[in-house]
Structure 1
Amino acid sequence: MKKLGLSLLNILLILSVAHAQEKRTIDKIAAVVGASVILQSDIELEYAQYLVSGQQPNPAFKCVILQNKLTQKLLAQQAIIDSVTVKDEEVDADIERRMRQFMARAGGQDKLESFLGRSVIQYKDELRPDIREGLIAQRMRQKITEKVNTTPQDVKNYFEAKKDSLSSYNKEVEVGEIVFTPKLNKDEKQFYKEKAEELRARVKKGEDFGNIARSYSQDPGSAVEGGDLGFFDRQTMVKEFTANAFKLKAGEISPVFETEHGFHFLQVIERRGEQVHARHILVVPAITEQSLDRAKKTADSVYTVMKGMKKFDFSNAASVFSDENETKYNGGMLLNLDNEQTRTTHIPTDKLDPQVALITDTMKVGGLSAPQLFTDSRTGKKSFKILYLKSVTDAHKASLEQDFAKLRDDAMADKLNRTVSQWFEKRRKETFIKIDPEYQQCPPLKGWVTTPTTAQVNPQ
């Protein structure tokens, strides 16, 4: 596990102190925005959460926190005027996501509650107003920028204005993969299915679901939380999981069923409209040497056929043979995960999986690699892969002709930032804003203070 800047005990004690500050009869007001106030305890609580995320102590970050809260208040106040809202289900889902992260770091719900000095339910209720306001602010920001777009002329203007300061681009490649995952046959799977059935029988006889999940479930994300997955909708889980979860009533336990992850059974805790709160237990079948051999033989056969063709269609081969859903429907091409908005296939070589980089470094454009055994660094799962090197772009100075797509993304981001900044500049001048002297010297907050004679108090 990654080491944090502070020990978990110290971090959670800080979190508890921050919460205790909220209970004080007198709490310092850090800022006023229209008819809303931001308390010092609000800032301390978020700073504690910043430390929980693994960051090093940095008191100056409180200036950033206050700036974020000021902008959130302005956006939320405008959202009331524009009737921008979020659903309760969205707030619930965000709260559950955060709580899963906190409980995982604390080592379970009991330990988190012990450190906080309150139940998780109480803590969720305390977080809810700020999380709702944050989601509304995000929605309002999206509304402000929804009509922003970029034209080719915008990209050209951006390039001309920035070309002297634009940095060089690193070497980039486009790489495709066909993945062959070892698969167990029916006889090999039976042992693991029976193990899941035995665990389900123990729950049905009255043993605690959470205790069995913590002891036996092989889902690392939920086992520590007693199998609790929080709320999710129909698009969140794989289809087999969704089919079982959405046909059960609260308290019911599903039969054992199989997904690409292994054998599960689940229990529905609560239904809220099109969202389900459930917990599950997962048994993951272990890959056998025989299944690895079968996967390698299939990979070797596909490679031999493709190498024997004068011209192969890699995209079609990936869609037919690859077991990796994340790439097979993208023509087998790997995506640059640092740029999810554009889903570009051009990946800087320093961002490649080291195993992929080592192999493609010796390949020629248009070439295939012989099947190689790969081990996923996160999950430890093994698979055989055939790699395809589609293109190589050497390191170079940015140019309009060669890098139009990247420059278009940069121009769009610049335009979005300017649109939001202009909105805030106008809104700040129209809104009464008062900031405690302790924070007025913060560089991010220069120019934020207004006076009653130049601004109106905005109702909330």
Structure 2
Amino acid sequence: MKKFLVIASGFICLFLNTQAQKKNIDKVVAVLGSNIILLSDLNQQYAQFLNSGNTDDPKIKCYILQQMLAQKLLKQQAEIDSVVVEESQIDEEVEKRMRYQIQKAGGQERLEQFLNRSVLQYKDEIRPDIKEQLISNKMQQKITQDVSITPLEVKKYFDGYKKDSLPDIPTEYEIGEIVMYPKLTKAEKQKYHDKIDALRLRVKSGEDFAFLAKSYSEDPGSAPDGGDLGFFDRTRMVKEFTAQAFKLKAGEISPVFETEHGFHILQVIERRGEQVQARHILIRPQNTQASLDRVKLKADTIYQNLTSKDPAKKMPFSYAASQYSDNKESQYNGGMLLYADNVTARTTFIPADKLEPGVFLIVDTMKVGEMSTPTRFTDASGKEGYKILYLKNKIPPHKGNLEQDYAKFKEKAQQEKTDKILSEWFEKRRENSYIRIDEDYDDCDELKIWSAKSKSAQK
């Protein structure tokens, strides 16, 4: 049975969206039950495809229309099954996509000029489409939520491979890390606190918050937009930020407060139920040589305890990671790094070509069971620190087999089973749904299974 591709939600495109265009070129290209798909909607999705850097290929419209029909079918069933999404979830997704579009356009003003409408108006326009996407995704999750796989099914899936077609598995590493960032003393932090407090006083005296955020904030994601973070709920921000944002009224300015990112002041713009729109200014304290020397000394001490020959002093790596590592993702996972691709679930086994270059250069010279001496590094955000690496395991390149790669084949077998269940679900629902597709798309191979129903519906 032909696999059905999972719906890609995509971003709502910014093109072919004026009322004049709709009046001139619009028509119904497909009908599914009581739902219609307009040519303008299809063109919007195709324009987003082009806007993502893809080559112009009109045949892609066949695939896009197939995805749109699938979404309508899921929406139709969701209405029957009373599947809904929370308004706060829709708000969050709208804000997420708007931040992406604003960043891509180079700021809110440029985006509004491009759209020839305000961001607020555009949000209202895209909200129904986003709501439909979220409901359709939730319906799809409901269909497949009980899919499970047994060891016997995994073996059957593996046995279906011809020996010469088994995948080549590259070298994989299982690596632990303890990451330590410098901690500034209160005296070292004071000048940064004073700097942002001076900005707070300027706002209090009447200066424009957004202008000061653009000029001084060290948050690259929000500074170009005057510090505006859009709407967010209590789960999105760190707890110190959330505490300030949800206790202020619209227009109020917070005192200076500190989070793991630095010193902030924020202003609440609007409160909407359990959603707050706020803007902030961030000042990031910079490491001093003294703070780097202190964390280096701490890292050296931990390394000595990890590698001690004295059993009474020797410290287990997993314990050291839970007590001292500043990496929150691996801290309570025994310090082990995790990897996930589009095929396998999150795993501790990482392909060599997916490792950070700096990490690979260190572990490639290590023996299994060894730990590296503390190494100075700079992370993606520019923060400096020290890390200790532990090479727990190294698997040489090999042909895929159940003994070493059971988790990979289990994930693939489960995905195949999920695809089959989805295909069967869509096939059954198509048979019981009214479908009509415009004859302009008769040559689309992707739509054959849909257009067959379309042809019979027109007889």
- Say whether the 8 Å CA contact 2:226–2:279 is kept in structure 1: yes
Pairing of 1:153-232 with structure 2 (within 5 A): 153-164=152-163, 165-232=165-232
The letter for the 1-side match of 2:291 is S
CA deviations over 1:267-294 (Å, ceiling 9, x no partner)? 2222333322222111111122221111
Q: 1:339 to 1:188 in 2, by over 3 A?
A: farther
Q: Aligned partners of 2:54 and 2:204: how far apart in 1?
A: 43
Q: 1:371 to 1:339 in 2, by over 3 A?
A: farther
The letter for the 2-side match of 1:396 is H
Pick which of 71-80 and 154-163 moved more. Answer: 154-163
Aligned to 2:124: 125
Aligned to 2:335: 332
SS at match of 1:403: helix
Number of equivalent positions: 442
Q: 1:448 to 1:16 in 2, by over 3 A?
A: closer
1:70, distance to aligned residue in structure 2 (A): 0.6
1:105, distance to aligned residue in structure 2 (A): 1.0
The letter for the 2-side match of 1:241 is F
SS at match of 1:173: strand
Pick which of 163-172 and 409-418 moved more. Answer: 163-172
SS at match of 1:268: strand
Pick one of 441, 444, 457 that aligns with 1:442: 444
Q: Aligned partners of 2:67 and 2:100: how far apart in 1?
A: 22
- Say whether the 8 Å CA contact 1:32–1:433 is kept in structure 2: yes
- Say whether the 8 Å CA contact 2:431–2:453 is kept in structure 1: no
Structure 1 residues without counterparts, runs of 5 or longer: 1-13
Pick which of 296-305 and 18-27 moved more. Answer: 18-27
1:339, distance to aligned residue in structure 2 (A): 6.2
Q: 1:313 to 1:451 in 2, by over 3 A?
A: closer
Pairing of 1:273-288 with structure 2 (within 5 A): 273-288=273-288
Pick which of 302-311 and 87-96 moved more. Answer: 302-311
SS at match of 2:417: helix
Pick which of 51-60 and 105-114 moved more. Answer: 51-60
Pairing of 1:254-403 with structure 2 (within 5 A): 254-309=254-309, 312-338=315-341, 342-376=345-379, 378-403=380-405
Aligned to 1:252: 252
The letter for the 1-side match of 2:52 is S
1:419, distance to aligned residue in structure 2 (A): 0.7
Pick which of 274-283 and 167-176 moved more. Answer: 274-283
Pick which of 93-102 and 213-222 moved more. Answer: 213-222
Q: Aligned partners of 2:441 and 2:20: how far apart in 1?
A: 19
Q: Aligned partners of 1:82 and 1:163: how far apart in 2?
A: 42
Q: Aligned partners of 2:446 and 2:15: how far apart in 1?
A: 28
CA deviations over 1:104-155 (Å, ceiling 9, x no partner)? 0111111000011111111111111111100000010011111111111111
Structure 2 residues without counterparts, runs of 5 or longer: 1-12
- TM-score, normalised to structure 1, is 0.91
The letter for the 2-side match of 1:408 is K
Q: 1:451 to 1:59 in 2, by over 3 A?
A: closer
1:17, distance to aligned residue in structure 2 (A): 3.6
Aligned-pair Cα RMSD in Å:
2.0
Aligned to 1:82: 81
Q: Aligned partners of 2:329 and 2:146: how far apart in 1?
A: 31
Pick which of 134-143 and 32-41 moved more. Answer: 32-41
Aligned to 1:429: 431
Q: Aligned partners of 1:136 and 1:438: how far apart in 2?
A: 29
Aligned to 2:235: 235
Q: 1:281 to 1:51 in 2, by over 3 A?
A: farther
Pairing of 1:28-67 with structure 2 (within 5 A): 28-67=27-66
Aligned to 1:92: 91
CA deviations over 1:393-436 (Å, ceiling 9, x no partner)? 11111112221111111111111111111111111122122222
- TM-score, normalised to structure 2, is 0.91
SS at match of 1:174: strand
- Say whether the 8 Å CA contact 1:234–1:242 is kept in structure 2: yes
Q: 1:114 to 1:80 in 2, by over 3 A?
A: same
1:172, distance to aligned residue in structure 2 (A): 0.6
The letter for the 2-side match of 1:155 is V
- Say whether the 8 Å CA contact 2:25–2:39 is kept in structure 1: no
The letter for the 2-side match of 1:151 is T
Aligned to 1:10: none
Q: 1:290 to 1:60 in 2, by over 3 A?
A: farther
Aligned to 2:422: 420
SS at match of 1:401: helix
The letter for the 2-side match of 1:323 is D
CA deviations over 1:13-33 (Å, ceiling 9, x no partner)? x93444456542551222111
Aligned to 1:146: 145
Q: Aligned partners of 2:19 and 2:389: how far apart in 1?
A: 56
SS at match of 2:263: strand
Q: Aligned partners of 1:361 and 1:451: how far apart in 2?
A: 57
Q: Aligned partners of 1:287 and 1:53: how far apart in 2?
A: 38
CA deviations over 1:273-317 (Å, ceiling 9, x no partner)? 332222211111112222111111111121122222456410001
Aligned to 1:406: 408
Q: Aligned partners of 1:334 and 1:181: how far apart in 2?
A: 18
- Say whether the 8 Å CA contact 1:171–1:394 is kept in structure 2: yes
SS at match of 1:110: helix
Q: 1:339 to 1:16 in 2, by over 3 A?
A: closer
- Say whether the 8 Å CA contact 2:203–2:209 is kept in structure 1: yes
Q: Aligned partners of 2:55 and 2:221: how far apart in 1?
A: 25
Pick which of 355-364 and 64-73 moved more. Answer: 64-73
Q: 1:64 to 1:208 in 2, by over 3 A?
A: farther
Q: Aligned partners of 2:126 and 2:430: how far apart in 1?
A: 26
SS at match of 1:203: helix
Pick which of 319-328 and 159-168 moved more. Answer: 159-168
